[in-house]
């Protein structure tokens, strides 16, 4: 089968043996798979990513001595069942799944080798017990957004949102845009969104952001504070020692570039919550004294639980997300190396989907 592999920071199209489903597993044809920012980061900073995970959990996620088949945002079509399965999803049925296999070593699909490829391949194996069947009325392209929406959903959960919170989304790349979609689905607002790219600001607006800010022209923090000022003269929360009365404020850092956390610390109203969802692969720093005197809450969000993945899929099936603008381009496997070269500097792309059969 055809597949895209990453090795030695190079992404290339090649041919691999078709994976064989083991006990309790199903072989699927990949219908669509999103390119995630973490794929781009790991291609260029795999050693740094391993070092961070090793320091936190004592393991390496990536085996950088072998080819890696990326792709953890996928939709597949059941092709064949392995031993010990029930066949509960008919052959030809479409499925999504959390990107893990139920094996003793629990391979993380999209970050493993050719034997357990991710969605940058024509076929892959999944664990039957983790499958969620995609109903006929849900488009394949939208189903492929389940995983990135689950990441955004978890970030919003980490914020402990209250009904009167005013959110600021800093950075309108794929994760920031997905967070906007989740916030809109949750009925939170007004949503303030900031990005230097005019194309991404337009995408933020189309996904439901209420106030769009060009940071080079206007301070997103001033717009955020103005949005948090009570409209009826009856504020819901006092902003600490400053005396300014504001609704509660929560910021989502979705850039992953050194210095952004400190900018948010400096610009945030007192007692704000800050959720870091951007993946920064290099050391960073901020001024703890500034966060302390403002009594800021600094939180980090990574991945999601299987339950959150299932809840996001349920919302998607019910049509409760407005997410179509997230998908800006579809490509074939042969176009992936060029897409990797261009995505880091492309202001017009949000979620690029790989369609292996294209």
Q: What is the pLDDT of residues 105-161, one digit of tens each?
A: 889 999 999 999 999 999 999 999 999 999 999 999 999 999 999 999 999 999 999
pTM of the model: 0.93
Mean pLDDT, the chain, as a whole number? 92
2-145+323-354 carries CATH number 3.20.20.70 = no
Tens-digit pLDDT profile for residues 309-332: 999 999 999 999 999 899 999 999
**CA geometry: angle 50, 48, 182, nearest 5 deg:** 80
**Residue among 134, 62, 122 nearest 95 (CA):** 134
Class of domain 148-300: alpha beta
Domain range list for the chain: 2-145+323-354, 148-300
**Residue among 72, 74, 65, 151 nearest 109 (CA):** 72
Burial zone of 329 (CB within 10 Å; 0-12 exposed, 13-18 middle, 19+ buried): middle
pLDDT of 233 strictly over 60: no
- Predicted local distance difference test score (pLDDT) of residue 236: 44
Least confident window among 7-21, 65-79, 226-240 = 226-240
Q: Counting every residue, how long is the chain?
A: 358
Spatial neighbors of 174 by CB under 8 A, at least 6 apart, are 36, 37, 148, 326, 350, 351
pLDDT of 218 strictly over 80: yes
Q: How much of the chain is helix, strand and coil, in % rounded to 5?
A: 30, 25, 45
CB 149 within 8 A of CB 178: yes
CB 25 within 8 A of CB 128: yes
53 falls in which pLDDT band (50, 70, 90)?
Answer: confident
């Amino acid at each position: 089968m055809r597949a895209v592999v990453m090795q030695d920071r190079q992404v290339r199209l090649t041919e691999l043996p078709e994976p064989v489903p083991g006990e309790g597993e199903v072989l699927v044809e990949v219908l669509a798979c999103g390119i995630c920012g973490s794929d781009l980061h790991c291609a260029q900073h795999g050693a740094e990513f391993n070092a961070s995970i090793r320091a936190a959990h004592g393991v390496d996620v990536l085996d950088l001595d072998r080819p890696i088949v990326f792709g953890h945002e996928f939709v597949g079509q059941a092709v064949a069942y392995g031993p010990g399965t029930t066949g509960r999803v008919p052959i030809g049925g479409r499925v999504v799944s959390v990107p893990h296999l139920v094996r003793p070593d629990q391979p993380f699909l999209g970050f493993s080798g050719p034997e357990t490829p991710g969605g940058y391949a024509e076929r892959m194996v999944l664990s039957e017990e983790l499958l969620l069947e995609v109903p006929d009325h849900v488009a394949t392209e939208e189903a492929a957004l389940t995983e990135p929406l689950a990441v955004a959903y978890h970030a919003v959960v980490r914020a402990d949102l209250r009904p009167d919170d005013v959110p600021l989304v800093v950075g309108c790349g794929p994760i920031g845009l997905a967070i906007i979609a989740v916030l809109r689905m949750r009925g939170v607002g007004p949503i303030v969104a900031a990005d230097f790219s005019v194309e991404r600001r337009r995408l933020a607006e189309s996904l439901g952001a209420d106030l769009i800010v060009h940071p080079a022209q206007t301070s997103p923090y001033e717009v955020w504070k103005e949005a948090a000022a009570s409209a009826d003269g009856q504020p819901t929360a006092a902003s600490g020692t400053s005396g300014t009365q504001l609704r509660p404020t929560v910021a989502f850092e979705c850039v992953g570039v050194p210095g952004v956390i400190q900018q948010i610390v400096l610009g945030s109203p007192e007692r704000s919550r800050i959720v870091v969802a951007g993946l920064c692969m290099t050391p960073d720093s901020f001024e703890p004294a500034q966060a302390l005197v403002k009594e800021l809450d600094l939180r980090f969000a990574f991945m999601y639980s299987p339950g959150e993945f299932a809840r996001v899929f349920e919302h998607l099936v019910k049509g409760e997300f407005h997410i179509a603008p997230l998908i800006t381009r579809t490509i074939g496997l042969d176009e992936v190396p060029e897409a990797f070269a261009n995505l880091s500097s492309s202001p017009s792309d949000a979620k690029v989907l790989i369609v292996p059969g294209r």
